[in-house]
Amino acid sequence: SGHGEGSRGSLIVLEGLDRSGKTSQSSRLVSFLEGRGVPVETWHFPDRRTSIGGMISSYLANNAQLDDRAIHLLFSANRWEKRSLMEAKLKSGTSLIVDRYSYSGVAFSAAKGLAIEWCKAPEEGLIAPDMVVYLDILPERAAERGGYGNERYEQLEFQRKVSDNYHDLSDSTWKIIDACLPEEDIQTQLRSLALECITGCRSGKPLSTLWL
Ligand code: 2DT
């Protein structure tokens, strides 16, 4: 019943502020899904391993200065350069758990004062996620967790603006999880949301593109 050959994987995106727990929750989720025999990979944007990713990485480390629009377009290009592989994986039945995607792209650049619509434009045509999970945390609480490094953007004032932008971007389809719950409880919610999403995609829901 839709579980056989030809069923596609799901594109599941995790978003949230720095220190919201996205990275550890997504790697635990992937281990869980693998254990259930689900073909799955964890991805992360920016993908710093490409040459565009290298430019982004230097910018984030404050080793390179770039115009706000130029760096925005590099983040977007870093998703575009992975688009065909993403589509191939999904069509071959592999689900992708993606730590940050276009919403980070818009929320962070718009926090510098760029218009939301301008920020959204280069993302148009990328594969739309089947589910966006937002790990919700107040910027003040995230800052208390410590571990902000020396990267650009890792400052409370900036994170407040990013948080406001995420709230503007979110719609009723986003799954919001309170990032201050115990880690186990977050993981439990995430697992059930992911399984439900993956099952739904297997039964024939077509891929679509941004923006929905
Ligand atoms: P990580 O610490 O998660 O590697 O992110 N960012 C990310 C953007 O400004 N635009 C984007 O399109 C993406 C994907 C978020 C590094 C920083 O880069 C920001 C934090």
Give the tens place of pLDDT for each residue, 78-128: 999 999 999 999 999 999 999 999 999 999 999 999 999 999 999 999 999
| pTM tops 0.90 | yes
pLDDT band at 203; cut points 50, 70, 90: confident
Nearest partner of 132 among 114, 152, 151, 106, judged by Cα? 106
- Can you read off the two tokens belonging to residue 24? 């550890």
ipTM: 0.99
Residue identifier of the C-alpha nearest atom 9 of ligand 1: 108
Of all residues in the chain, what percent are helix, strand and coil, respectively (each to 5)? 50, 15, 40
Q: Please, where are the H alpha helices in the chain?
A: 22-35, 51-60, 68-80, 83-91, 102-110, 116-120, 139-144, 156-169, 183-202
| d(C-alpha 129, C-alpha 153), whole Å | 25
Residue identifier of the C-alpha nearest atom 12 of ligand 1: 105
State how beta strands 175-178 and 95-99 pair. Answer: unpaired
What separation in Å is there between the alpha carbon of 134 and the centre of ligand 1? 15
For residue 108 and ligand 1, the question of a CB distance below 6 A is answered with yes
Contact 130, 208 (CB under 8 A): no
Q: Which of 49, 79, 101, 104 to mutate to test the pocket of ligand 1 (most atoms within 8 A of CB)?
A: 104
Average pLDDT, the chain: 95
What separation in Å is there between the alpha carbon of 174 and the centre of ligand 1? 19
Contact 45, 132 (CB under 8 A): no
Give the chain's end-to-end CA distance (angstroms, integer): 28
Percent of the chain with pLDDT over 70: 98
